[in-house]
C-alpha cells in the first residue's frame, strides 16, 4: 500500500506571489495523483501547510485553482514551442528542437504534462478551451513558418503544423507511458527524422524568401 505524502508543517508568511506559486505546486501533485474529482481543498491546504482560509484567499474554489494551474502549464508549453522555433533559422534544426522539447517536457515535467493532456475534466468548457489552446497556439506558430517558407495557403500550412504537433506530443506521451527501451534522445531523434522527411519535402518558395 502506497504511503500518503507527508503533510507539510505550517509555513511562515510568504509574499503573495510566492505563496500562490507554492500552492500551485502542491495542488499539481494532488490533482495528478488523485484526479480533479477526488482531490480536495482540505488536502491541498494540509499538504501546503496553510489553513483553508489562506488557500481560499488565493483561489475561491477548486475549479479556480485547477484552471489557474492548467493555464500556467499551458503557457509553459506554448512558450517552449515558440522558443524552440526561434532557436535557429535552419528548418531541419527547428524540427529537431521542436521534437526534443516534447520529449523533454513529458520526461521533466511529468506531472504538468499529465494535467494538460490527461485531464479528467475535459468535459468542462473552460478546461477544454485551455487544453485545445496548447495545440492551436503551438500549431499556429509552426504554421506561420511553414507558410512563410513554402508559400502554402494558410489552411494547408495549419494542417501540416497540427500534424507535426500531434506527432510530437502523442509520440512523446507513448514513449513515456510504455517505458520504452529507447532513450529520450534516441526517441526524439527518430521522431525528428520522420517529421523532417515529411515537411522537408515541401520546397521553399523563392518569392517568399527573396532576402535569404
Shared domain check, 128 and 100: yes
Shared domain check, 55 and 85: no
Shared domain check, 193 and 133: yes
Shared domain check, 79 and 33: no
Q: Which of 34, 60, 86 is the last residue of a domain?
A: 60
Shared domain check, 41 and 90: no
Report, as an integer, the average pLDDT of 56-62.
94
Q: Judge whether 212 lies within some domain.
A: no
Q: Judge whether 208 lies within some domain.
A: no
Q: Is the pTM of this model over 0.85?
A: no
Shared domain check, 185 and 129: yes
Contact partners, residue 76, CB within 8 Å, separation at least 6: 109, 112
Q: Residue 74 belongs to what domain range?
A: 68-199
| The pLDDT value given to residue 116 | 80
Shared domain check, 171 and 98: yes
* Helices H / strands E in the chain, number of each: 9, 0
Tens-digit pLDDT profile for residues 2-11: 455 555 545 4
Shared domain check, 77 and 50: no
| The pLDDT value given to residue 6 | 55
Q: Judge whether 166 lies within some domain.
A: yes
| The pLDDT value given to residue 212 | 44
CA distance 82 to 137: 9
Tens-digit pLDDT profile for residues 64-94: 999 998 898 889 889 999 999 999 999 999 9
Shared domain check, 90 and 134: yes
Mean pLDDT, the chain, integer: 88
Q: Which of 60, 91, 115 is the last residue of a domain?
A: 60
Q: The C-alpha cell of 125 is what?
A: 468548457
Would you place residue 47 in the very low, low, confident or very high pLDDT band (cuts 50, 70, 90)? Answer: very high
43: helix, coil or strand? helix
Where residue 179 falls (left for φ over 0; alpha for ψ -120 to 50; beta otherwise) is: left
CA distances from 60 to 47, 86, 149 (A): 18, 38, 47
Instruction: Write the burial class of residue 41 (CB in 10 Å: 0-12 exposed, 13-18 middle, 19+ buried).
Output: middle
Q: What is the domain count for the chain?
A: 2
Amino acid at each position: 500500500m502506497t504511503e500518503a505524502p507527508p503533510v507539510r508543517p505550517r509555513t511562515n508568511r510568504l509574499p503573495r506571489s510566492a505563496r500562490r506559486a507554492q500552492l500551485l505546486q502542491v495542488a499539481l501533485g494532488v490533482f495528478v495523483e488523485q484526479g480533479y474529482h477526488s482531490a480536495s481543498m482540505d488536502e491541498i491546504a494540509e499538504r501546503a501547510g496553510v489553513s483553508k482560509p489562506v488557500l481560499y484567499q488565493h483561489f475561491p474554489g477548486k475549479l479556480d485553482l485547477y484552471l489557474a494551474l492548467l493555464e500556467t502549464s499551458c503557457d509553459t508549453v506554448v512558450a517552449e514551442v515558440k522558443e524552440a522555433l526561434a532557436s535557429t533559422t535552419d528548418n531541419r534544426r527547428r524540427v529537431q528542437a521542436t521534437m526534443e522539447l516534447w520529449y523533454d517536457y513529458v520526461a521533466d515535467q511529468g506531472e504538468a504534462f499529465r494535467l494538460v493532456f490527461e485531464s479528467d475534466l475535459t468535459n468542462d468548457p473552460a478546461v477544454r478551451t485551455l487544453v485545445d489552446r496548447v495545440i492551436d497556439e503551438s500549431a499556429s506558430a509552426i504554421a506561420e513558418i511553414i507558410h512563410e517558407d513554402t508559400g502554402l495557403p494558410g489552411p494547408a500550412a495549419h494542417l501540416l503544423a497540427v500534424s507535426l504537433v500531434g506527432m510530437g506530443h502523442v509520440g512523446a506521451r507513448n514513449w513515456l507511458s510504455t517505458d520504452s527501451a529507447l532513450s529520450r534522445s534516441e526517441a526524439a531523434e527518430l521522431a525528428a527524422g520522420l517529421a523532417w522527411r515529411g515537411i522537408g519535402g515541401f520546397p521553399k518558395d523563392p518569392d517568399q524568401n527573396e532576402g535569404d
